[in-house]
């Protein structure tokens, strides 16, 4: 009886761990999800100005890729962009918020010192064409960056209007 109870408790615990993992990890990209982003943002100390910043990124050409080549190609574009953004921003954490939207919580000193240079690293990583279901696609993104969340989201439309801020 005791062994059965222990085994049942372990199975229950494993189901809970698996459920939490599914919620916190984006299934398509393997990046932390919006839920993980919300937890991370809640844990940041907002009373320390300059200790962190945020990039919010939108893929500019996902809809065109989906409409032209299909959703499998669009998914391949999302996976490619996720990998390239996260490589460009290491050691900072990249999140997939959903659809074509990503976020990076920036805490690395070099990226904080020069957000423009950090954004340019992302653009350079995205530059090479990617093979998406047999189609060559160049990932394009718009980045809004700020030291406050609402400011980063608010800067996306302005960045879209200024081609120099796009990759």
Q: Return mean pLDDT, the chain.
A: 85
Give residue 146's pLDDT: 84
Residue-wise pLDDT tens digits, 61-82: 999 999 999 999 999 999 999 9
- Gap between the Cα atoms of 95 and 44, Å rounded: 15
- Gap between the Cα atoms of 13 and 67, Å rounded: 42
Query: Is residue 48 pLDDT above 80, yes or no?
Result: no
Pick the catalytic residue: 67, 83, 100, 114?
A: 100
Task: Examine the residue annotation and report whether 75 is marked as an active-site residue of this protein.
Answer: no
What percentage of the chain exceeds 70 in pLDDT?
Answer: 75
Task: Report pTM.
Answer: 0.77
What percentage of the chain exceeds 90 in pLDDT?
Answer: 57
Give residue 77's pLDDT: 98
Pick the CATH number of 27-165 from 3.30.70.270, 2.40.37.10, 3.40.640.10, 3.40.50.170: 3.30.70.270
Q: Three-class SS string for 88-133?
A: HHCCCEEEEEECCEEEEEECCHHHHHCHHHHHHHHHHHHCCCEEEC
Query: Could you give the maximum distance between any two Cα atoms of the chain, in Å?
Result: 68
Query: Is residue 12 pLDDT above 90, yes or no?
Result: no
Mean pLDDT of all residues in 37-62: 86
- Gap between the Cα atoms of 3 and 9, Å rounded: 10
- pLDDT bucket at 51, cuts 50 / 70 / 90: confident
Give residue 103's pLDDT: 97
Residue-wise pLDDT tens digits, 116-130: 999 999 999 999 999
């Amino acid at each position: 009886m005791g062994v059965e109870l222990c085994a049942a408790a372990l199975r229950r615990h494993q189901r809970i761990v698996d459920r939490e993992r599914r919620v916190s990890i984006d299934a398509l990209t393997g990046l932390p999800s919006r839920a993980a982003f919300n937890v991370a943002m809640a844990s940041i100390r907002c009373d320390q100005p300059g200790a962190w910043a945020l990039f919010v990124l939108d893929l500019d050409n996902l809809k065109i890729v989906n409409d032209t080549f299909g959703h499998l190609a669009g998914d391949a574009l999302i996976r490619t962009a996720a990998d390239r953004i996260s490589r460009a921003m290491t050691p900072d954490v990249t999140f997939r918020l959903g659809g074509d939207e990503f976020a990076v919580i920036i805490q690395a000193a070099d990226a904080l010192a020069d957000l423009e240079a950090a954004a340019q690293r992302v653009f350079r990583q995205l530059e090479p064409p990617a093979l998406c279901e047999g189609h060559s696609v160049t990932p394009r993104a718009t980045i809004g960056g700020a030291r406050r969340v609402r400011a980063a989201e608010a800067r996306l439309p302005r960045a879209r209007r200024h081609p120099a801020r796009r990759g």
